[in-house]
Amino acid sequence: MTEPAIHPVLLCGGSGTRLWPLSRKSYPKQFAPLTGDQSLFQQSALRLSGPGYAAPTVVTGSDFRFIVLEQLAGCGLTPARTLIEPAPRNTGPAILAAALDLRARVGDVLMLVAPSDHVIPDAESFRAAVAAAVPAARAGALVTFGIAPDRAETGYGWLELDSPLPPDAPAAPQPLLRFVEKPDAATAQTMLAEGRYLWNAGIFLFSTATIVDAFAAHAPQLMAGAQAAVEGAEADLGFTRLAPEPWAGLEDISVDYAVMERAPGLSVVPFRGKWSDLGGWEAVWRESGPDAEGMVTHGDAVAIDCQDSLLRAEADSQRLVGIGLRDIVAIAMPDAVLVAHKDHAQEVKQAVAALKAAGAPQAEAFPRDHRPWGWFESLALGPRFQVKRIVVHPGAALSLQSHHHRAEHWVVVEGTARVTIGEKVQLVPENESVFIPLGERHRLENPGKLPLTLIEVQTGAYLGEDDIVRHEDVYARGQGAKG
Amino acid sequence: MTEPAIHPVLLCGGSGTRLWPLSRKSYPKQFAPLTGDQSLFQQSALRLSGPGYAAPTVVTGSDFRFIVLEQLAGCGLTPARTLIEPAPRNTGPAILAAALDLRARVGDVLMLVAPSDHVIPDAESFRAAVAAAVPAARAGALVTFGIAPDRAETGYGWLELDSPLPPDAPAAPQPLLRFVEKPDAATAQTMLAEGRYLWNAGIFLFSTATIVDAFAAHAPQLMAGAQAAVEGAEADLGFTRLAPEPWAGLEDISVDYAVMERAPGLSVVPFRGKWSDLGGWEAVWRESGPDAEGMVTHGDAVAIDCQDSLLRAEADSQRLVGIGLRDIVAIAMPDAVLVAHKDHAQEVKQAVAALKAAGAPQAEAFPRDHRPWGWFESLALGPRFQVKRIVVHPGAALSLQSHHHRAEHWVVVEGTARVTIGEKVQLVPENESVFIPLGERHRLENPGKLPLTLIEVQTGAYLGEDDIVRHEDVYARGQGAKG
């Protein structure tokens, strides 16, 4: 066929804390390279690209929109649409909005909805399973994908078939009897033994018309608000911001509760390949391919006499040494370190809550802060001073801004900066510096073709990120706002 | 008495790796605040101060001489003498040199020799034990101090008495039959049960005449070289550098082997207080006073459902979280993290060797580098640039220097700098900066009464510490040398 048959919709809003400190609210796990060199989001987008696939629609939050663009560009993809949720409302409203937008934009087409933080190493087999689901979806079915289970997992929902699946059954749609919520251990054991249950991976194929009709039939309370949010959406630098007011009134509900557990005539395509939602560090250990001793190391980590453990050193500048460990996960970052027994790794949520209660920025903030124009990280913070490394993308510009409480020094260490201070505009080459007095309007731009790296030394009585007055901003951000 | 009766001699040369990453070759464990706010060296010096004690003699290495001065000043002490060993030669030559120097300087006096990396919480009881040893030492005995053992420790040498020590025996000199080398587990168990063995703490009291005579009798091969090293010593900014050539020829031998295991008529004063040489992280855990769950935390460390473990977060800017741990030590620093089972903590030496083989600076170098004039730390290192924080003590000055391969920017963030660049001398106040072109002679001084903090941004093709040409140096350091 010449027309792309399948429109991927990547759900990219979540902010789980189960993989802290690598996954934090300001930089959730789908953006991290947890297995291999590419992030989970990049792997998910690439898995649903190529012949037969249109450019993806991404549904994400405002804080992540530039990371989404950067990461897609980093693997050679351009989104067809990036829908910005004004607030998280779970998968129900997100999928409905994407369907309404896609229908208005392209028509009645097939959409493949997938989370962007799952691991499916065998992308080709997965695309074959999707291809097997196309005829049923074209015929009006709601098709879900079920993972053939290899253990009695209590952390997932399960899908019930009407009969056991032969081990050599081809990937073909089967009638789906019902969705089973996360079971207890005994129930999970029984389901595993019976052979007619699959894991619910939260991946779906259906036509825009079918899913919109299903929402209208089973979750009518969402329809008007979602429609208004899509119709009132505003274009913003290539992003599509759903209208905030109707969106705010929508129920926070998953697509499973809103539609799948109520709709008749569901189909499921079994998938026998490896799959994981990386729901905790124990899963990262398992999916990273432990060696004969059960060990996984990543980065500058050294294991001496260790077994069945995961040692990850995330930064170039840090070494991690493990000695005599059994069933331990250790994740080292320059600002935060987690050491947990594998069986207790789920309790990391409590730890993050405790850090948040103690006011520790590490609970939610990532050391490297991504912005539309590039990123920065704090190198040193002392009384009355802060040092940052700032990297500006080629062609990018920070807002024209001023600060009430701090002066800034910029030393250009790589590339060339165009700096506006007051009325004066100057080029600052490598190894030169400029001084921005307190209160003075200033702007930093990278006019070159290479990244611009500079060291900023701030001095003043108050050095918070919210001491910023934006006078002009190509990224349409407000006073004191990040993003 | 009005004259100080006892001259402390603190041995401060060692560079063990068993407490890596907190203890490294460039900053060994005696300088770290391992138990409480003061370093082990400071605790050791204070323990042997007050009425009846003269100012201490310190025997140390060249790299540590300014740390020694700083730390003594930090607890209100001034050394009578700081002897610099041109190379480490174990405790035999160090004690002999200190005795010869003390005899020449003060006469035939009592010297109390002690390592500077041990923990003895009850300083008053320890001084009482020393006082009990004075008459015997004055009468010409070699008195050692023996720790009443509370476990069958195989990591220490033991001391054999002629009869079991009654539990209520006063601290008084006992005849010492012999030194027992580190025993195997069964022997240690037998010795513990017999009750007439003590641990050898490596602490001694004797007169300068007695110990010099003992070396002459039992280790005559050391006499001429030690004498020449002391007689040829050179004063250097208040330090006393032993003459390198005779010193280089001395045998590397402990005082136990050289003298104590051969000399007749030894005495031992039992000490019933707590003592530890902090020979590994397991010992640090034990000596840090575990709570009811067996937990010790230090710094910004959070323990959730942990038992019998040690969690230390060494830096202000880093959080450490432990979950579900049993018998684990975790030591977090921004550049290096150790996670070890308590029973395997001694294997940290292998880890350090592996890091050294891999060329990792963390094997030996400490992030904060102490220099005569203050300290610096590297904040960021990238291609062609490095950022450092530099703190200069009031009144201190860096050498007049130049670099072949790098230019430098200095931004003053606190205090006032006097900066020489070429022929020009200028004062640089807070929040101003200067640029030092490649090849230009420059000097940085702190003329003020408060510490001077500045951020240095280096740029260039080669940024190693050894790219330094010293034109003048108040601290008498050579080309490319640190210290």
Q: Is A302 on the interface with B (CB under 8 A)?
A: yes
Q: What pLDDT was estimated at residue B165?
A: 85
Confidence band, pLDDT 50/70/90 cuts, at residue A385: confident
Mean pLDDT, residues A428-441:
91
Give the Cα separation of B310 and A184 in Å (integer): 35
Q: Is A436 on the interface with B (CB under 8 A)?
A: no
Q: Is B9 on the interface with A (CB under 8 A)?
A: no
Chain A, nearest residue to B345 by Cα: A323
Is the pLDDT at A477 greater than 80? The verdict is no
The order of strands in the sheet holding A400-402 is A424-428, A417-421, A442-445, A400-402, A469-472
Is the pLDDT at B2 greater than 50? The verdict is no
Instruction: Specify the 3-state DSSP secondary structure of B192.
Output: helix
Query: Is residue A183 reached through a cis peptide bond, with omega within 30 degrees of 0 on the bond before it?
Result: no
Give the Cα separation of B122 and A5 in Å (integer): 80
Is the pLDDT at B138 greater than 50? The verdict is yes
Confidence band, pLDDT 50/70/90 cuts, at residue B366: confident
CB B340 within 8 Å of CB B329: yes
Chain A hits for B325, CB-CB cut-off 8 Å, are 328, 339-341
Beta strand pairing status for B400-402 and A239-241? unpaired
B182: closest CA of chain A, how far (Å): 24
Nearest beta carbon to residue A319 from set B300, B362, B380: B362
Alpha helix (H) ranges present in B139-267? 185-194, 208-218, 223-231, 244-248, 255
Give the Cα separation of A293 and A303 in Å (integer): 11
Chain A hits for B384, CB-CB cut-off 8 Å, are 413-414
Q: Is B380 on the interface with A (CB under 8 A)?
A: yes
Give the Cα separation of A337 and B460 in Å (integer): 33
Give the Cα separation of B467 and A410 in Å (integer): 25
Give the Cα separation of A309 and A291 in Å (integer): 10
Q: What pLDDT was estimated at residue A119?
A: 94
Residue A265, number of CB atoms within 10 A of its CB: 10
Nearest beta carbon to residue A379 from set B354, B379, B432: B379
Among B394, B384, B336, CA closest to B70: B394
Q: What pLDDT was estimated at residue A31?
A: 93
Nearest beta carbon to residue A304 from set B330, B347, B431: B347
Chain A hits for B302, CB-CB cut-off 8 Å, are 351, 354-355
Is the pLDDT at B372 greater than 90? The verdict is no
Chain B hits for A453, CB-CB cut-off 8 Å, are 382, 385
Q: What pLDDT was estimated at residue A367?
A: 83
B window 20-79, beta carbon within 8 A of A: 21
Pick the range with the lowest mean pLDDT from B39-53, B383-397, B459-473: B459-473
Mean pLDDT over each residue of chain A, to the nearest integer: 92
Beta bridge partners of B197: B160
Beta strand pairing status for B328-332 and B336-341? antiparallel
CB B461 within 8 Å of CB B443: no
**pLDDT tens figures, B37-71:** 899 999 999 999 999 999 999 999 998 998 999 89
Within its chain, how far is the Cα of B35 from the centroid? Answer: 14
Q: Is B430 on the interface with A (CB under 8 A)?
A: yes
Confidence band, pLDDT 50/70/90 cuts, at residue A431: confident
Overall fold of domain B6-271? Spore Coat Polysaccharide Biosynthesis Protein SpsA; Chain A (3.90.550)
Q: What pLDDT was estimated at residue B483?
A: 42
CB B375 within 8 Å of CB B32: no
Chain B hits for A335, CB-CB cut-off 8 Å, are 317-319, 334
Contact (CB<8Å) A318/B334? yes
Beta strand pairing status for A417-421 and A424-428? antiparallel
Contact (CB<8Å) B337/A337? yes
Chain B hits for A455, CB-CB cut-off 8 Å, are 380, 385, 387, 455, 457
Mean pLDDT over each residue of chain B, to the nearest integer: 92
Give the Cα separation of A305 and A285 in Å (integer): 17
Q: Is A350 on the interface with B (CB under 8 A)?
A: yes
CB A46 within 8 Å of CB A152: no
Give the Cα separation of B120 and A51 in Å (integer): 74
Mutate to test the interface with A, among B295, B302, B319, B343 (most CBs of A within 10 A): B319
Is the pLDDT at A483 greater than 50? The verdict is no
Mutate to test the interface with A, among B337, B343, B362, B405 (most CBs of A within 10 A): B337
Is the pLDDT at A196 greater than 50? The verdict is yes
User: In sequence order, which residues have a C-beta less than 8 Å from that of residue B3 and are 6 or more positions away?
Assistant: none
Contact (CB<8Å) B319/A325? no
Give the Cα separation of B27 and B336 in Å (integer): 14
Domain residue spans of chain B: 6-271, 281-357, 368-472
Helices (H) and strands (E) in chain B, counts: 11, 28
Contact (CB<8Å) B323/A338? yes
Chain A hits for B336, CB-CB cut-off 8 Å, are 318-321
Q: Is A423 on the interface with B (CB under 8 A)?
A: no
B172: closest CA of chain A, how far (Å): 44
Is the pLDDT at A110 greater than 50? The verdict is yes
CB B209 within 8 Å of CB B103: yes
CB B420 within 8 Å of CB B410: no
**pLDDT tens figures, A117-172:** 999 999 999 999 999 999 999 999 999 999 999 999 998 999 999 989 887 777 88
CA distances from A297 to A28, A115, A302, A336, B345 (A): 21, 26, 7, 18, 20
Chain B hits for A347, CB-CB cut-off 8 Å, are 304-305, 323-324
Give the Cα separation of B267 and B142 in Å (integer): 6
Contact (CB<8Å) B321/A348? yes
Is the pLDDT at A329 greater than 50? The verdict is yes
Nearest beta carbon to residue A382 from set B382, B385, B453: B453
CB A58 within 8 Å of CB A98: no
**pLDDT tens figures, B180-229:** 989 999 999 999 999 999 999 999 999 999 999 999 999 999 999 999 99
The H or E element spanning position A43 is helix A40-47
Most confident of A434-438, B365-369, B469-473: A434-438
Q: Is A313 on the interface with B (CB under 8 A)?
A: yes
Mean pLDDT, residues B452-476:
86
Nearest beta carbon to residue B341 from set A325, A348, A383: A325
Q: Is B336 on the interface with A (CB under 8 A)?
A: yes
Contact (CB<8Å) B321/A338? yes
Give the Cα separation of B121 and B69 in Å (integer): 23
Pick the range with the lowest mean pLDDT from A375-379, B155-159, B241-245: A375-379
Among A245, A261, A254, A257, CA closest to A90: A254
Beta strands in B135-288 (DSSP E): 142-147, 158-161, 174-180, 197-207, 234-236, 239-241, 266-271
Residue A64 DSSP code: G
Instruction: Report which residue type is found at B227.
Output: Q
Mean pLDDT, residues A275-303:
94
Q: What pLDDT was estimated at residue A2?
A: 44
Q: Please report the number of interchain residue pairs, chain A to chain B, with beta-carbon separation below 8 angstroms.
A: 201
CB A407 within 8 Å of CB A459: yes
In CATH terms, the superfamily for domain B368-472 is: Jelly Rolls (2.60.120.10)
Nearest beta carbon to residue B435 from set A382, A433, A457: A433
Q: Is A409 on the interface with B (CB under 8 A)?
A: yes
Is the pLDDT at B175 greater than 60? The verdict is yes
A window 116-175, beta carbon within 8 A of B: none
B424, two tokens: 């020009």
B465: closest CA of chain A, how far (Å): 18
Contact (CB<8Å) B321/A340? yes
Contact (CB<8Å) A414/B385? yes
